């Protein structure tokens, strides 16, 4: 298996073509939102540096799945962080 970052091929028309072809063949009938994100938003989000999408390819370069990491800050109330069995959050640091 191989991991492929779609951001790395932006601007390379041959690689973009290969990746778009693999992405177009991806289907997820139980959850069409997953399929729609990959086909309709992943490229735009990568170009705009909103997220990075990694494709999981097999040895024959078929797309098995993908995951996306976002760069958005997350703010959580310290009181909401306390759960059974977890230590209380004393301080929150934002970056």
CA 13 to chain centre: 21
- Tokens representing residue 53 in the block: 């999408």
Tell me the pairing of strands 51-57 and 63-70: antiparallel
What distance in Å separates the CA atoms of residue 54 and residue 12, rounded to the nearest whole number? Answer: 17
- pLDDT for 4-32, tens place per residue? 899 888 888 898 888 888 899 999 999 89
Mean pLDDT computed over every residue of the chain: 82
* CA 39 vs CA 5, 13, 21, 46, 93: distances in Å: 15, 17, 10, 12, 36
The answer to whether 56 touches 66, Cβ cutoff 8 Å, is: yes
At residue 76, the pLDDT reads 67
């Amino acid at each position: 298996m191989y991991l492929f970052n779609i951001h790395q091929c932006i601007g390379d028309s041959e690689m973009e073509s290969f990746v778009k072809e693999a992405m177009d063949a991806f289907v997820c009938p139980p959850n069409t939102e997953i399929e729609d994100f990959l086909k309709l938003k992943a490229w735009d989000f990568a170009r705009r540096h909103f997220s990075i999408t990694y494709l999981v390819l097999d040895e024959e370069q078929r797309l098995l799945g993908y995951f996306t990491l976002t760069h958005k800050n997350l703010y959580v109330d310290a009181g909401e962080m306390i759960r059974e069995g977890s230590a209380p959050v004393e301080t929150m640091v934002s970056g």
